[in-house]
Chain A
C-alpha cells in the first residue's frame, strides 16, 4: 500500500540540486528572444502605432502586432480581452481591440537575436494614444455616469456580473435577533509571488503543431485559448509543461502563451523556424498578471441570546479590474462563502464583480473564499464577543450538519464535518488553558522588546471550501493507464500513467503515482508517470479549486479498472482510459440564488496565538493550529506541506503584503517594497492537524486541502489581535503602521 504513506518525492533530488528543468532554464541553442510590450496606459485608445524604427534596431527580427492575430480576443471564462491591443487588426473580436484597459495590456511582441536587442526594439515602438478617463477603483466604477470600461457588453454599469441570494425573510430574522452587528470589511489585493516568473519557449514541432513549453495549471485550457486566437483547430496546438515553480492560481490565465504562439506561427509562415524564448522579469510578472481580488464587503449578522444566527445580509463587491479572467467564478465562491458553513434561516446576499481600469482580479488560492470568510468569520467573532459567548461555542451552535440545506437552499453534499473539525481544533489548540506570559521578540526581530508593552491573544475561525469546479461547469478529468507484462504474467510488472494534471510544486504527480500504485497493485517504483503534454495526455482540468487529488484520483481509479479488464482479457500491454465526471452542479437561480453549486467540500478550523507589541504595532504569531478534514491524506507529508505553505502565504496577506496602486499603476512591483514574509516573520509554530472523515465520492475517501489553510487565517488573526488589544480591524494587512494607528485612534 502506498496511499497514506509519505514516500520521497521523485522530483526532490532534482529540485534540490537545481538540475530539474523549469521553462525559464531551458533556452534551446540558437533560440530567438521575445519581449512582450505593455501599453503602459491605464485607460487609453490607441490612435497609431509604428514599428518602423523598432524593426530597424540591429538584431530585431520581427514584431508581432494586433494585425497578426487571426482572432483578437480571449479569456478563460469570457472573451473580453484583446490578445494584442492595436489599431490595424483585421481578426474577429467582440471587444474593442484598440483600447488599453490596464497598464499591462499587451501591444506587441518584439522578437530579436538577443534580449537586449528585443528590449531596444520595444523601446523604439512609436505609439500615439488618446487618454480615456480613469476608473481606478470600485467607487469610481460605481459612481453615477461612470465611464464604462466595456461598453461593448451592452450593460449600463461596470458591475457586469451580479449574483443574488434571497432566502426566507431577513427583516423577520433580524427582528428575532437579540444582537446585530453591521460592519464593512475591506480586503486588499495580493500578488502570487511564485518563485518562478512566467517563462516559455515556442516552436513548431515535427508534426507541425504550434508548440509551447511553459508552466501553467491546465494544459488543455491553455491549448483552447491559444488555438482560439491563432484560429487553429485545437489539435494543431500543443502545450507541454516543464517543471513549474509555483502557480497558486496566478498561472491559470494566459500571460505569455498567446504572444509566444502567435510569434511561432507567424515567424514560421515567414520562413523563420528558430524557437522563440520569452521570460518575464519579476517586475514584468507583478505588473503583467492578475491578482487576488480586492473588494469591499458589507455584512449584517443577527443572533439570539444564545448565539443562534437568525439572519444575514451581505453585499460583496469585488474589483475585477480590466478583464473578467475568472472573476465571475471567484465572485460565485465569495458569494456562497460569505454565509460561512452555518445554518442561516434568513438571508439576502448581493454580490457584484466590477470592471475598473486596473490590474485584473483572478484566481488565487482560496478563490473568493478568503474574502467571504474574512467578512463572515470576523462578523461571527464580533457577534460572539457582543453576546459574551465563546467563539467556539457560537460556531458549534450554528455549524451545518449532514442533511442541512446550505445557503443556496439545497442539501449539502454528504460528509459535512464542520462540527467535528471545530471541536478537534479547539482541543488541539488547548483553548481551555491560559496563554503563557509574553516573551520578548528578540532575537528574531530587530526590536528587543520590553515585555511590558507586549500583549497576548488568540483567535478562532472556521469554514469550508468547495473541491472541484462549481455552478454547472462540466467538470471532468481524464487518465490513461498502461499495464506492462508478459502474456503469462498474472500481475503486471510495471504501469504507465498518462495524465495532464499540473505539478505546480504541490507534489501532485507523486500523489497520482501513489494512487495509481494502489489502484493497479504495481509497486510505486514501477509506476511511471508521463505528465502534462497535450500530445500524450487527456484533459485533466485545472490544478486549482483544491480539486486535483480528488479528480485525478477518481480518473486514475477508473482507468486502472479499465486497464485491468483489458489485462484479464489478455491484452499485453493492457490499456485503460477513463474520463471521470462527478455529480453535476448547478448555476444559481438569478433571482433567488437557489441551486446546488458544488459536489464536495473540505472543512477547516484554525486557532492563532499572537503577541502584539503595543508600542510599535509589531505582531508576532506564536502558534497556529490548523485543522483540516482532508477525507484521506493520500500523502501526509504533502498535506502538511500544503498546510504550512498556505499558512505562510496567508500570513503575508494578513500582515505585510500591500500592493499599492496610483492612477491605475502598480507602484511597488518588486520584492523590496512588496513585502512577502521572511523566515523571521512567519509563525513560530504551526500544528497541522489532519482529520480523515472519508468523503463518499473521494478516491480512497480523499477531499482536498490546498486552499483551506489559507482561507480562515486572516479572520482568526484579527480575532487574536482583538483578544490582545481590544481592537477590531476590518481591513488589513496589519502592518505596524496600521496597528499602531488603530491603537492610537482608540486611545483618543
Chain B
C-alpha cells in the first residue's frame, strides 16, 4: 500500500485514474478501523487534506460551500454556520468524540455509506448538493443521491466529492437533528431524525423530514412532511408525523436495537425533532 498527498483536485483526479484500486481518504476514522478489521488495503491511499479547496468553508452568493475533507470540528465551531444550520452542526457534532471530530469529515461521513452517518440526514433536509470531481470534470448532484445502499455510492470509479453546497434558508427556518444511541455518546445511532421547517407565524409552510439508521440509506418521509405543511404542529399533526416516520422505517435487527424498537423510536424522534426545529424557526 502506498500513500499519496496531492495538493490540487487535478492531481488527485490523475492519481485516482492512474491507480486502479486506489482510494481517497480524509480523516481516516472509518478507513483505518476498516483496514484493521480485515478490509482489503487499497493500492494507494490518497490523502485529500492538502488540497485547499477541500479544507475550507465559505459563504457567498447566497450559499455555503464546505470542503469535503475539512474536519467537522471546524464546522461545529463555526458560529455563523451553526446559527443558520443548527441541525447540520448538531449531526456533525455527534460524530464520535472531540478527538474523532478533529479528523472526521463530511465527505468521509457521507461516502463511507453508513445508513447511520450522523451528518447526512440534516444535510439532506437542507437539500445540500455534492460537487463531484471525476475524469471528465465536475458535476453537482443532491447529497440524497450519493448513497444508494449500505456502503454503496452512485459515484463512478475515479470520482470523489470536492465540496458541499447549501443554499441560505428562507427566513423563519429552523432545523434539528436528534439521534438515539444505547449509550449517550461514542456510539452509533440506532435511529436518527432530521427535520427542517419554515414557519409563517404559527403555520408551517415548508418541511423536510429525514430519517437515518432505519433503512439502507437515509430516507425522506414525504407523508410526515405533508402532515407538517399547513399545520401549526398541533397534536394531531405531530401524531401523523410519528405514524408516518414509523411507517417509513425499514430497519434491520442488530446488537444495538431491535426492528420493533427502531420503528417505534423513529416516530418518536421525528416528532421531537419537528418540535425542536419549529422552536428554532420561530426564534
Residues of A within 8 A of B (CB): 444-450, 453, 615-618, 656, 658, 660, 667-668, 672-673, 675, 677-681, 735-737, 740-741, 744
**Closest-CB distance, B192 to chain A (whole angstroms):** 9
Q: Which residues of A contact B186 (CB under 8 A)?
A: 678
Could you say which of A449, A677, A681 has the most chain B C-beta atoms within 10 Å of its C-beta? A681
Q: Which residues of B contact A673 (CB under 8 A)?
A: 255-256
17 extra interface residue pairs, beta carbon distance < 8 Å, beyond A667-B255, A737-B258: A444-B184, A449-B272, A450-B272, A616-B269, A617-B265, A660-B255, A668-B255, A675-B183, A678-B183, A678-B186, A735-B182, A736-B257, A736-B261, A736-B265, A737-B261, A740-B264, A740-B265
Q: Of A447, A660, A737, A744, which is within 8 A of B257 by CB?
A: A737
7 contacts between A and B (CB under 8 A): A446-B179, A616-B269, A658-B255, A680-B183, A736-B180, A741-B258, A741-B261
Residue of B at shortest CB range from A446? B179
Q: Which residues of B contact A741 (CB under 8 A)?
A: 258, 260-261
Q: Which residues of A contact B275 (CB under 8 A)?
A: 450
CA distance A449 to B256 in the complex (A): 20
Q: Which residues of B contact A677 (CB under 8 A)?
A: 183
Cβ of B51 < 8 Å from any Cβ of A? no
Cβ of B88 < 8 Å from any Cβ of A? no
CA distance A735 to B181 in the complex (A): 10
Given the known A-B contacts A668-B255, A678-B184, A681-B183, are A447 and B264 also in contact in the complex, defined by CB atoms under 8 Å? no
Q: Which residues of B contact A656 (CB under 8 A)?
A: 182-183
Could you say which of A447, A677, A741 has the most chain B C-beta atoms within 10 Å of its C-beta? A447
CA distance A675 to B255 in the complex (A): 10
CA distance A668 to B183 in the complex (A): 15
CA distance A13 to B115 in the complex (A): 45
Cβ of B244 < 8 Å from any Cβ of A? no
Cβ of B94 < 8 Å from any Cβ of A? yes
Q: Which residues of B contact A680 (CB under 8 A)?
A: 183-185
Give the size category of B's interface with A: 20 to 34
Given the known A-B contacts A737-B257, A740-B264, A741-B261, are A448 and B276 also in contact in the complex, defined by CB atoms under 8 Å? yes
Asked whether, in the complex, the Cβ of A446 is within 8 Å of the Cβ of B181, the reply is: yes
**Closest-CB distance, A124 to chain B (whole angstroms):** 17
Asked whether, in the complex, the Cβ of A616 is within 8 Å of the Cβ of B257, the reply is: no
Cβ of B178 < 8 Å from any Cβ of A? yes
**Closest-CB distance, A662 to chain B (whole angstroms):** 11
Q: Which residues of B contact A681 (CB under 8 A)?
A: 183-184
CA distance A47 to B257 in the complex (A): 41
Asked whether, in the complex, the Cβ of B184 is within 8 Å of the Cβ of A616, the reply is: no
Q: Which residues of A contact B68 (CB under 8 A)?
A: none
Q: Which residues of B contact A736 (CB under 8 A)?
A: 180, 182, 257, 261, 265
| Proximity bits, B256-283, A CB within 8 Å = 1, else 0 | 1110110011001100100110000000
Cβ of B187 < 8 Å from any Cβ of A? yes
CA distance A681 to B149 in the complex (A): 32
Residue of B at shortest CB range from A677? B183
Asked whether, in the complex, the Cβ of A617 is within 8 Å of the Cβ of B261, the reply is: yes
Asked whether, in the complex, the Cβ of B260 is within 8 Å of the Cβ of A446, the reply is: no
Residue of A at shortest CB range from B261? A737
Asked whether, in the complex, the Cβ of A615 is within 8 Å of the Cβ of B268, the reply is: yes
Q: Of A446, A667, A675, A740, which is within 8 A of B178 by CB?
A: A446
CA distance A445 to B186 in the complex (A): 11
Residue of B at shortest CB range from A445? B184
Asked whether, in the complex, the Cβ of B185 is within 8 Å of the Cβ of A678, the reply is: yes
Asked whether, in the complex, the Cβ of B184 is within 8 Å of the Cβ of A740, the reply is: no
Q: Of A446, A449, A618, A737, which is within 8 A of B185 by CB?
A: A446
